[in-house]
Chains A and B, each alone.
Chain A
Amino acid sequence: MQVIQFSSADFSYGTFPVLSDISFSVEKGEFISIIGENGAGKSTLLKLFNGLNRPTAGTVSICGLDTRSAKTSELAAHVGFLFQNPDRQICCNTIREELNFGIHTDPERTERILQTFGFTPDASPFSLSRGQRQQIALASVIARNTDILVLDEPTTGLDYRECMSMMSYIRKLNREEGKTIVMVSHDMEIVQDFSGRILVLTGGKLAADGPARTILTDRQLLEKASLLPPQIADTALRLGSGFADIFTVQEMTDRVGHILSAVAVQTQDVHI
């Protein structure tokens, strides 16, 4: 079932065009990432998902609602949006209040989320670290139980442990609850590890749309978008055509192990 549908959507800030001719659709339960250089229009594109930006031409449909006419507060029942800066989102005195702030919150779900994240419910969100505030912002988005989660650079400013904990939770929501995830990230390792499909944006146009493996091993395409492949894919590409199909650490480990055992067998066969 298609939950997101962009048809030749354009967007301009006044007379300044930012996005042009964007067309793609997303099925329920997909995990997609949008990548591209700074200024490519990624965050502007995300705001088209919930009506914060309205297409200046073409259409954007979210769960059957046309964003040209639907109010953002109506679309919010279907789309949860995590902003880059959690401090723009947090406005309540306790974490529990923060999770219950807004529409369509279920207190039982809130309590479950508080336990899952290990928050102290009555603590003030403002006294916590940047990483914890980002987690609270994510938790308050999840508390509304929307079908689609739009995440604008969710791991910015997080350390490795916080980053993995947050992304694992997002993957769980995708796999177990069937949430559709749309994420913008500059971290190619995160994109590689978690996304099934990738959209590449360059100069406000959709340059590519395909499976993560195809996109992240296309050096020419990534260079065009001022990006580098993830380290493991980059290493495989540098090793030559014999490694061109390698994409994950596991695949690289298996291939290297296979080569090493073949070399060992050949060495055993050599008699001096």
Chain B
Amino acid sequence: MKAFLDYIPGDSPLHRLNPLSKFTISVAVCAACFISTSPLVLCALIVLDLLLAALGHIFTFALKLLRGLAGLSVFLFILQVLFIRTGRPLFTLFSGFPVTTDGIMNAARLVLRLTGSMLPLAVMLSLTKLNDLSGVLTWYLHIPYKYAFMLTTAIRFIPVFTAEMESIMEAQTARGIEFDTKNIFKKIKLIMPLCIPLLITSVGKSDTTAVSAELRGFERRNRHSMSVIYPLRAPDSIAFVFSAGLIAAAAVL
């Protein structure tokens, strides 16, 4: 079964793009999200994220991710609205929390930025093999292999640890711990002791990975050790121009 952020194989135009181009596009969309202050532009960037996902044939995955982010977004929106006091008051909630124009605008901006900047990274990671990503970071951006490997390993471990946490929760539910409760606060309280088995497994896994890498000559690897060449082609040039245009448009609009 595919886990979150696992590479989704395919032959779409985005799959064929150089990993550096995909990385540049996703960074450009993120940057545009933080440069722009207009909620309309931020909405357009989210639509662009979905279009990119459709171009990569992972539209369903992007929609699922968007649905997942919606819960977090609602929570953050409510928090922002409740605690921002500046601006023109519109009405009062829970007899003591005035909802203001600034509160709504800032909350909307925060939520749209969060969604708009998370989606392109997830889409890029789902369309790029992590080895290829570390390869181009080392080759084109001259990032030392050690750091590129560290970045991609950290990303690679996200689905691994997610699966591990799910297994730990299964094991504890089987012991009668009420993880199947609908009460979110009770669930959070129950999760705390599980940090111990997760931490122990994580440290063990990291240690095994480090030893295994050392045994395979990790210290001697550098940009000249790459076995794959990632040439830049015409579509990559278009991607770079598109990324630059996107940042410029976000600054202007």
Which partner residue on chain A sits nearest B193 by CB separation?
A91
* 9-residue interface stretch from B57-65, B81-89, B150-158, B166-174: B166-174
Alpha-carbon distance between A196 and B131 when the two chains are bound, in angstroms: 50
Contacts of B196 in A (CB 8 A): 91-93
Bound: A76/B179 CA distance, A: 12
Whether A89 lies near B171 (C-beta < 8 A) is yes
Residues of the B chain whose Cβ atoms lie less than 8 Å from the Cβ of A161: none
Cross-chain contact B180 with A126 (CB below 8 angstroms): no
Residues of B within 8 A of A126 (CB): 200
Residue B177 is within 8 A (CB to CB) of chain A in the complex: yes
B179 CB contacts on chain A under 8 angstroms: 72-73
With A91-B197, A126-B200 as known contacts, state yes or no: A72 contacts B171, CB within 8 Å.
no
| A87 within 8 Å of B (CB atoms) | yes
Residue of A nearest to B175 (CB): A102
Does B1 touch A at the CB level, under 8 Å?
yes
**Known: A72-B180, A73-B179, A88-B168. Contact between A52 and B197, CB under 8 A?**
no
Q: Is B249 an interface residue (CB 8 A)?
A: no
Indicate if A101 sits at the interface (CB-CB under 8 A). Answer: yes
- Taking CB atoms and an 8 Å cut-off, the chain A residues in 88-106 that contact chain B are 88-93, 101-104
Minimum CB–CB distance from A160 to chain B (whole Å) comes to 25
B107 nearest CB across to chain A (Å): 35
Task: Establish whether residues A92 and B193, one from each chain, have CB atoms under 8 Å apart when the complex forms.
Answer: yes
| Interface assignment of A112: CB less than 8 Å from any CB of chain B | no
Cα-based distance from A113 to B200 in the complex (angstroms): 26
Q: Which of B174, B176, B177, B194 contacts A52 (CB 8 A)?
A: B174
Count, chain A residues at interface, CB 8 A: 30
Residue A224 at the B interface, CB < 8 A? Answer: no
Instruction: Check B170–A90 contact: CB distance below 8 A.
Output: no
Q: Is the CB of B176 within 8 A of A88?
A: no
A50 to B172, CA, bound (A): 12
Q: Does B214 reach chain A (CB closer than 8 Å)? A: no
The answer to whether A87 and B175 touch (CB under 8 A), given A72-B180, A73-B180, is no
Q: Is the CB of B201 within 8 A of A87?
A: yes
The reply to whether the CB of B178 lies closer than 8 angstroms to some CB of chain A is: yes
Secondary structure call for the A interface: loop
Given contacts A13-B1, A52-B170, A92-B193, contact A87 B176 (CB under 8 A): no
Check A52/B173 contact, CB under 8 A, given A88-B168, A90-B197.
Answer: yes
> In the complex, how many angstroms separate the beta carbon of B172 from the nearest chain A beta carbon?
7
When C-beta atoms are compared, the residue in chain B nearest to A79 turns out to be B174
**B200 cross-chain contacts in A, Cβ below 8 A:** 87, 126
Q: Looking across the interface, which residue of chain B has its beta carbon closest to that of A89?
A: B171
B175 contact set on A, CB distance < 8 A: 76, 81, 89, 101-103, 140-141, 144
CB–CB A71/B197 < 8 A: no
Tell me the complex Cα distance, A79–B173, Å. 11
Contact in complex: A144, B176 (CB < 8 Å): yes
Q: Is A77 an interface residue (CB 8 A)?
A: yes
Q: B201: which A residues are within 8 A, CB to CB?
A: 87-88
A83 interface residue per 8 A CB criterion? yes
Asked if B173 and A72 make an inter-chain contact with CB atoms under 8 angstroms apart, the answer reads: yes
Of the candidates B1, B173, B194, which one forms a contact with A73 in the assembled complex, judged by CB atoms under 8 Å apart?
B173
Closest 9 A/B residue pairs (Cβ):
A76-B176, A103-B176, A81-B174, A102-B175, A88-B171, A73-B178, A89-B171, A72-B173, A88-B168
Given contacts A87-B204, A93-B196, 18 further A-B contacts (CB under 8 A): A47-B170, A52-B170, A72-B179, A72-B180, A83-B171, A83-B174, A85-B167, A87-B197, A88-B164, A88-B170, A88-B171, A88-B197, A89-B175, A91-B194, A92-B196, A102-B177, A144-B175, A144-B176
* A–B complex contacts, Cβ < 8 Å, 30 sampled: A16-B1, A52-B170, A72-B179, A72-B180, A73-B173, A73-B176, A73-B177, A73-B178, A73-B179, A73-B180, A76-B173, A79-B174, A83-B170, A83-B171, A87-B201, A87-B204, A88-B168, A88-B170, A88-B201, A89-B171, A90-B197, A91-B172, A91-B193, A91-B197, A93-B196, A101-B193, A102-B175, A103-B176, A103-B177, A104-B176
